[in-house]
């Protein structure tokens, strides 16, 4: 069985072959239950389901904790429902780490704190690095980053602001894909 490694967690991939919308609803419910274990109510969460869970689309969950807006999305699978499964697993594993005191509340919050316009920022980051808007290939992103960083490094006569933008773009995409 294939495995997925996301945010430092490795788990079995789940290939959905039927009942896509029903399974997506189940994954959403599991996310809500997991977050409920740490005191986050359902009305503090936002998990939008696609009308047709078989289609290719990213999945995400947003919730609020201690005054912070927390967010996690995944877009590495070919089906929305499988992306939502990954979101569910990551949240479930992170909540369990918090409950088992393997992580502090501050570390949990830091792991999921995102800006409101994170998807637009990720699109711009891919544009800066010169990769396709939907690229999820971290090796390609790293390769493009190294090429651009070398070309625009201030010690090589490059513009410091351009160099900083390249570094920010790479850091953002690495955080998304690792």
Domains of the chain are 3-112 (3.30.160), 118-177 (1.10.287)
Q: What is the pLDDT of residues 98-109, one digit of tens each?
A: 999 999 999 999
Mean pLDDT estimate for the chain = 89
Closest CA to 11 of 61, 86, 121: 86
Is the pLDDT score of 122 beyond 80?
yes
Assign 3-class secondary structure to 17-77. CCCHHHHHHHHHHHHHHHHHCCCCCHHHEECCCCCCCCCCCCEEEEEEECCEEEEEEECCC
Per-residue pLDDT, 115: 63
Is the pLDDT score of 165 beyond 80?
yes
Per-residue pLDDT, 27: 97
pTM: 0.71
Model confidence at 94, pLDDT cuts 50, 70, 90, reads: very high
């Amino acid at each position: 069985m294939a495995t997925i490694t996301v945010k430092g967690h490795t788990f079995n991939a789940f290939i959905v072959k039927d009942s896509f919308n029903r399974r997506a609803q189940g994954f959403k419910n599991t996310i809500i239950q997991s977050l409920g274990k740490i005191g986050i109510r359902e009305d503090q969460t936002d998990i939008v389901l696609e009308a047709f869970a078989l289609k290719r689309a990213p999945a995400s969950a947003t919730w609020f904790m201690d005054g912070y807006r927390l967010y996690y999305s995944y877009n590495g699978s070919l089906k929305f429902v499988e992306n939502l499964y990954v979101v569910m697993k990551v949240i479930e594993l992170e909540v369990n780490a918090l409950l088992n005191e393997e992580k502090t509340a501050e570390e949990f919050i830091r792991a999921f704190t995102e800006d409101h316009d994170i998807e637009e920022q990720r699109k711009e980051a891919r544009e800066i690095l010169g990769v396709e808007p939907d690229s999820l290939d971290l090796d390609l992103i790293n390769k493009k980053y190294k090429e651009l960083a070398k070309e625009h490094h201030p010690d090589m006569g490059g513009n410091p602001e351009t160099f900083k933008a390249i570094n920010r773009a790479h850091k953002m995409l690495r955080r998304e894909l690792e």
